[in-house]
Structure 1
Amino acid sequence: MKVEKTFCTTREAATLLGVSVGTTQLWVDNGLLSAWKTPGGHRRVARDSVEKLLYVRMQSVVSAPTEAESARMRVLVVEDDRNLLRLYQVMLAQWPMAPEVRTVDNGIEGLLAIEAAPPDLLIVDLSMPGVDGLQVLRILRSSARYAGIAIVAVSGLDETEIARRGGLPPGVTLLGKPVAFSRLLAVANSVEEGRRASVRLAA
C-alpha cells in the first residue's frame, strides 16, 4: 500500500504554491507554513499547511491582466487600514494616466498578487500584522524578477525606528503618514514616463 507523504521540501512547497523558494522560506519563518528541520538540517514543510495556504490563495486569486489593462500602468496597494485603502482608490482613480489599481489588506495577499502579476508601482505600508511591509520588501529585493518594480513605502514610523528594524532596501521611496498624494503622484508620473520610454524603444 502506498503511503502518502505528509511533508515536502521547501522547493516542492514553492512549486505547489506557485511562488519562489524565498517567499516560501519567509512564510515558514513567520509560521504561515508549518515546518521542521531534519537531523541533517534540511527543512520539511507540512503538506496540510501548504493545502491551507493554497485554499487562501484560491479565495484571493488575481487574474492575469487583459490586453487593455496591460497597456495601463499597474499599481498595487498593500495596506491593512481599510479606510486608507478606500482613500487610495479614490485618489488614484483621479491620476491622469488612469492606472489599473489593485488593493490588498495584508502582506501575504500582497506577495501572492505580485507573484501573479507584478505591478509597475507598489505602495506598501511598513507596519502590518503578520508579514509586514519590511519583510515584503526584503523578499522582493532579493529576487531579480522584481527589480523593475518601483516601490513606495508608507509609514508613520520615523527613519530612526525604520533603521532599527533593519532599514529599507536601496531604491525604495519613503513617504510618511498622512500620505502626501502629490508626492505619490510625482513618483507615479516618473514610473509612467519610464514605461512610455520602454515602449518607444521596443517599437
Structure 2
Amino acid sequence: MQQEGSTAMTDQLYTTHDISRLLQVDPSTVSKWIDRGILMAFRTPGGHRRVRSADLRTFLITHQMPVPEELGSGTVRLLAVDDERPVLDAIKRAFKPFAAQVELQTTTSGVEALLLVSEQKPHGMIIDLNMPDIDGLEVCRRIRARKQMEGVRLITMTSAHTPEVVEQSKQAGALACMAKPLDVQQVLELFRVPLALSAKR
C-alpha cells in the first residue's frame, strides 16, 4: 500500500461537498466525476472519499475549467523517462531554476515509469520515444488505456523530431512531441496555458 504522504505534504484534502461548494456544482456531479475515474480520489478507513488539492487542480486544468484562487498555486509533479542517465541529469539541471514550481522525478525504465505513474500520480510525464525495454509510444498507449490516468498529460521527446513522429505521438495519446534537448519553457507552458485560458473565460 502506498503511503498517502508520498505526494507534497502541503496537499489539502477535500470532501465531495467541499468541492461542490468550491466549484458551485451539485455534490452528485462531483461523485460522478470520481466514479468515472476522471477525478482522482481515495477512500478513508471510514469509507469517505477525499480528493487531494493537487489532483483537483489537475482535473480542472485538464478539462479547461476555471481554477479557484486557493488551488491556483502549487507545484506541478512531473515524471521524466529516458534510458540515458546523462539526458535525465540535463533535464534535472534545466528544471532546477523552477524547483519551487516543479517537483521532478526521473527513471531510466519505461516499465518502472508505468509503475510510478500509478503510485505517484504525476500531473505530467516526459517520455523518451527510443528506449530498449518498452518504447515511449507504448508507454503512452498503456497509460491512455487506463481510465484513472486520464488526467496525466503526456509529452514525448526525441532526437529524431519529424512531423511523422509528432503524429505518431499524438495518436498514442501524447499532448505534444518535443525535440531534444528539451525546452523546459515549452514544457511549463503546456501546464500554464490552460490556466490562462480558464482565467479569461
Bin of the TM-score, shorter chain as denominator length: 0.5 to 0.7
In the alignment, which residue of structure 1 is the partner of 2:132?
A: 129
Structure 2 spans left out of the alignment, 5+ residues: 12-53, 55-73
Determine which of 126, 143, 153 is the counterpart of 2:156. Answer: 153
In the alignment, which residue of structure 2 is the partner of 1:64?
A: 6
CA contact (8 A) 2:82 2:127 kept: yes
* Cα shift readout 1:59-108 (whole Å, capped 9, x = no counterpart): xx9x7214236542111101111111111111112127521110001101
1:185-200 alignment to 2 at 5 Å?
185-190=188-193, 193=195
In the alignment, which residue of structure 1 is the partner of 2:90?
A: 87
Determine which of 174, 179, 200 is the counterpart of 1:176. Answer: 179
Higher relative contact order (CA 8 A, sep 6+): 2
| Paired letter, 2:7 | P
CA contact (8 A) 1:73 1:97 kept: no
TM-score by length of 1: 0.56
Change over 3 Å in CA distance of 1:173–1:166 after alignment to 2:
closer
In the alignment, which residue of structure 1 is the partner of 2:115?
A: 112
Structure-2 separation of matches of 1:180 and 1:74:
17
Structure-2 separation of matches of 1:76 and 1:87:
14
Structure-2 separation of matches of 1:115 and 1:143:
10
Distance apart, 1:113 and its partner CA: 0.6
Structure-2 separation of matches of 1:120 and 1:166:
18
* Cα shift readout 1:122-149 (whole Å, capped 9, x = no counterpart): 1110110111111110001112111111
Change over 3 Å in CA distance of 1:152–1:107 after alignment to 2:
same
In the alignment, which residue of structure 2 is the partner of 1:58?
A: none
Change over 3 Å in CA distance of 1:127–1:100 after alignment to 2:
same
Structure 1 spans left out of the alignment, 5+ residues: 1-17, 19-60, 198-203
Structure-2 separation of matches of 1:72 and 1:114:
17
| Paired letter, 2:129 | L
Structure index of larger Rg: 1
The root-mean-square deviation of aligned C-alpha atoms, in Å, is 3.3
SS at match of 1:93: helix
In the alignment, which residue of structure 2 is the partner of 1:138?
A: 141
Mean alpha-carbon deviation: is it higher for 142-151 or for 170-179?
170-179
Structure-1 separation of matches of 2:192 and 2:167:
31
Aligned residue pairs: how many? 137
| Paired letter, 1:80 | D
Change over 3 Å in CA distance of 1:188–1:163 after alignment to 2:
closer
